[in-house]
Each structure stands twice: as structure tokens, then as C-alpha cells.
């Protein structure tokens, strides 16, 4: 499963609000065995959001959007979803009933505007959530408020579970310059795995972390065994499963 994440909001692009949603979602999908292939941050502009949505919906199996679903003037995500998929907007009476039941007091036009959805939007009621998760085709529209997003995603996270990644790590006192040729050869010999090297500066124990991973345990173990043979033992600080 390849996943794309679209973070929506001028406040993120301007630096007023830090995006912690996409990093949290990336960790969640990795745990589930799915691969986040791309993350985009876009402004509160319907044509820009719609264009990115069309591109992501074609490229990826699952698209998650965060932000732009509240009652204010800059909450434009659903209108952009409608434009991206060539759908009209309509007042969703089921969602209005949910909103009225949650707010309880007399609600103004802002809250009623939250019940305007693209035609054919799926409402997913899960767990103890007061509001449903909304999906249009392969796009899941999530709120930008981190605690609410986490509750909503957690309610449906198991539906995204796949075979897990198998990961091994080796920490060495060699720097990347000394490792480059051997890692190039290792990748050529073990094309079924993904090999990464990550320098660390100012650490007295090691200078580079090397990772090997794939969804095939045997492929990961074979490549890791070859790595252990290539890296001089006296430069290895630690090996982790």
C-alpha cells in the first residue's frame, strides 16, 4: 500500500503552526506495514488543493488530508475535494444530525456549513468517535487538530494493516565516505531490500547508522549478514535487530 499525505493550511506554510500530523501518520503507517510515498503541504486555496488531490489520488492507494474542515472561512478542503473529483456539494442531513446532537445548543451557520460535503461522501462511524470519518473515493479527509486526528485515525488504523517491514541496524565508527562503495555493491547484490545510511555528528560511539529493510525477512537477513561481512568488525559499535 502506497500512501500520500496532504497537509492543508496557510498556518503551516507560514510557520505559525508546526506540522506534527504528517510525521505521526508516517510512523503509524510504517507500524502497519504501509509505505508513505509522499507528503505535500499546500495553502488554503481550492484550485491548489484540488490539483494536488487529483495527482495524489491517481498516484497512491490511500490519500490522507489534514486540515481545513472546520466552520470558518478558510476551511476549504471539502470544496476542493468536490472540485478534484468533479462532484457537486450537498447538505448532508446525517452529518447535520450528528453536529446538532454534539453541539446541543442552537447552532449557527458556521456549524451548518460543516455539513456541506461532496456528493457521495462516505461517512465512517467508528468506535466512540462523536463525528464520523469522511472519505471520498480513496481520500480520507481528516481534521488538522492533532488530538482529534489521532483519535479518528486510530479508530480505523487496522483497516490499513499489511505485512510488516523487517528492519536491521548496524552502527559503525566509519563515516559515509568510507562506506559508500561497499553500500553501493551491497545494494546491487541485494536489490530486494532498501539500504539506508545516516551520519551522526558529535557522537563518541559511532558516526553512521546503516539500516536494511524489506517485507521479506529472509532477504533482510541475507543482506544484513553480507553487511556484517563487509564492515570491519573493529569499527562496529552495535548491531540491532
What mean pLDDT is predicted for residues 126-137? 92
| 136, pLDDT greater than 70 | yes
pLDDT the model gives residue 145: 96
pLDDT one-digit tens code per residue, 162-196: 999 999 999 999 999 999 999 999 999 999 999 99
Residue for cell digits 499525505? 5
What mean pLDDT is predicted for residues 44-64? 98
pLDDT the model gives residue 159: 96
Q: Is 175 exposed, middle or buried (0-12, 13-18, 19+ CB in 10 A)?
A: middle
From the list 8, 17, 3, the residue with the least C-alpha distance to 57 is 3
**Which residues, in sequence order, are bridge partners of residue 135?**
122, 140
Confidence of residue 227 (pLDDT cuts 50, 70, 90): very high
Contacts of 115 (CB under 8 A, 6+ apart): 91, 92, 93, 95, 96, 99
pLDDT the model gives residue 186: 98
Q: Which three cell numbers stand for residue 101?
A: 446532537
pLDDT the model gives residue 108: 72
pLDDT the model gives residue 160: 97
pLDDT one-digit tens code per residue, 103-129: 777 777 777 888 999 999 999 999 888
User: Domains in the chain and their CATH numbers?
Assistant: 2-160 (3.40.980.10), 166-240 (3.30.70.2860)
Average pLDDT, the chain: 95
CA 104 to chain centre: 34
Three-class DSSP category at 67: coil
pLDDT the model gives residue 72: 85
Amino acid at each position: 500500500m502506497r500512501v500520500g499525505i496532504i497537509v492543508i493550511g496557510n498556518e503551516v506554510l507560514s510557520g505559525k503552526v508546526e506540522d506534527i500530523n504528517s510525521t505521526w501518520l508516517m510512523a503509524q503507517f510504517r507500524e502497519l506495514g504501509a509505505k508513505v510515498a509522499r507528503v505535500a503541504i499546500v495553502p488554503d486555496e481550492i484550485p491548489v488543493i484540488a490539483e494536488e488531490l487529483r495527482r495524489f489520488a491517481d498516484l497512491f492507494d490511500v490519500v490522507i488530508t489534514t486540515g481545513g474542515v472546520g466552520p470558518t472561512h478558510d476551511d476549504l478542503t471539502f470544496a476542493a475535494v468536490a472540485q478534484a473529483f468533479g462532484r457537486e456539494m450537498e447538505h448532508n442531513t446525517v452529518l447535520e444530525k450528528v453536529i446538532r446532537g454534539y453541539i446541543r445548543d442552537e447552532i449557527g451557520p458556521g456549524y451548518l456549513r460543516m455539513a456541506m460535503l461532496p456528493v457521495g461522501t462516505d461517512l465512517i462511524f467508528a468506535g466512540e468517535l462523536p463525528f464520523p470519518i469522511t472519505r471520498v473515493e480513496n481520500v480520507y479527509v481528516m481534521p488538522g487538530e492533532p488530538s482529534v486526528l489521532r483519535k479518528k485515525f486510530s479508530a480505523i488504523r487496522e483497516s490499513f494493516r499489511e505485512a510488516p517491514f523487517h528492519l536491521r541496524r548496524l552502527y559503525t565508527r566509519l563515516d559515509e565516505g568510507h562506506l559508500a562503495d561497499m553500500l553501493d555493491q551491497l545494494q546491487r547484490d541485494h536489490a530486494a531490500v532498501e539500504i539506508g545510511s545516516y551520519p551522526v555528528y558529535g557522537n563518541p560511539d559511532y558516526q553512521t547508522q546503516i539500516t536494511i529493510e524489506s517485507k521479506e525477512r529472509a532477504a533482510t537477513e541475507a543482506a544484513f549478514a553480507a553487511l556484517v561481512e563487509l564492515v570491519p568488525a573493529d569499527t562496529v559499535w552495535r548491531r540491532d535487530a
